[in-house]
Amino acid sequence: MSSSCNLIPDPHKRSTPPIHPLDPKLPPPGLPVSKPCLSIWQRTTRTNPLLNHNSVSTTAVPSTADAVIIGSGLSGTLTAYELLNSSSPNAPKAVVVLEAREACSGATGRNAGHCRPDAFRGFMAFSRIHGEEQAHKILQHEKLVLELLNAFIKEKNVECDWDYCKTFDVVMGKDFKDYVEKSFEDYAAKHGTKDGIEGVRVLNEEEAKKARSNHLLSSHL
């Protein structure tokens, strides 16, 4: 279960211009730090043979490949997985993943473990930056990620504490309430059903207290 109380930053109130990670004027990020701390997850996987595959493997890094992926985190490994499992005749056959440190030693190995799509909340902020069509796509994509992850864990029988459930979005404070309500209304008007937004229940304070005490999980405003 997760809760939130932070506003999504309003791009119109930004005091400095946004930094684009691909801005050629920025210095290259360089390699990740060589001695990062160990997260709680990483402490439980110290004997995994894949951790240091890049340094203990007797196989030399191939001099050519159809696709080279930098980084063995979620983005890199899922890209490799999708490429190697693609049914396209043009899909690369030889895929190399380059990793500077241990496997999954970046954000993937040290995050909070939530996979919680934004059902509607970012609609207003995303729309201002990217337009409403893209904002809708972002929200749809987040939903797809959850479904794909759920399917992956089941299909591969991944040993983990995956709990596919409803979550609360606890709204604290009037500013955030106004922001969330407006996003909800805008998104529901454009992409909702006649009952609101699919999969989202709006509860008032009393209903929310009751739902929580009965362990009925729902979103509420």
Ligand X SMILES: Cc1cc2nc3c(=O)[nH]c(=O)nc-3n(C[C@H](O)[C@H](O)[C@H](O)COP(=O)(O)OP(=O)(O)OC[C@H]3O[C@@H](n4cnc5c(N)ncnc54)[C@H](O)[C@@H]3O)c2cc1C
Instruction: Using CB under 6 A, list all residues that contact ligand X.
Output: 31-32, 70-76, 98-101, 105-108, 110-115
CB of 209 to ligand X, least distance (A): 26
User: CA-to-CA distance for 122 and 124, rounded, in angstroms?
Assistant: 6
Q: How far is Cα 145 from Cα 135, in angstroms, rounded to an integer?
A: 16
Closer Cβ to ligand X, 44 or 111, answer by number = 111
Asked if 102 and 73 touch (Cβ cutoff 8 Å), the reply is no
Give the contacts of 129 (CB within 8 A, at least 6 positions apart): 11
**Residue closer to ligand X (CB basis): 166 or 182:** 166
Least distance (Å) between residue 116 CB and ligand X = 7
Other CB atoms within 10 Å distance of the CB of residue 195: 9
Rg (the chain; Cα; Å): 21
- Rank residues 36 and 192 by Cβ distance to ligand X and give the closer one: 36
State the nearest-atom distance from the C-beta of 99 to ligand X, in Å: 5
Dihedral sign from CA coordinates of 133, 135, 136, 142: positive
CA pair distance 172, 3, nearest whole angstrom = 10
- Tell me how far, at minimum, the Cβ of 146 lies from ligand X, in Å: 10
Residue 18 or 89: the one with the smaller Cβ distance to ligand X is: 18
In one-letter notation, the amino acid at residue 169 is: D
CA end-to-end span of the chain = 16
Nearer to ligand X, 110 or 201 (CB): 110
Minimum separation from the CB atom of position 109 to ligand X (A): 7
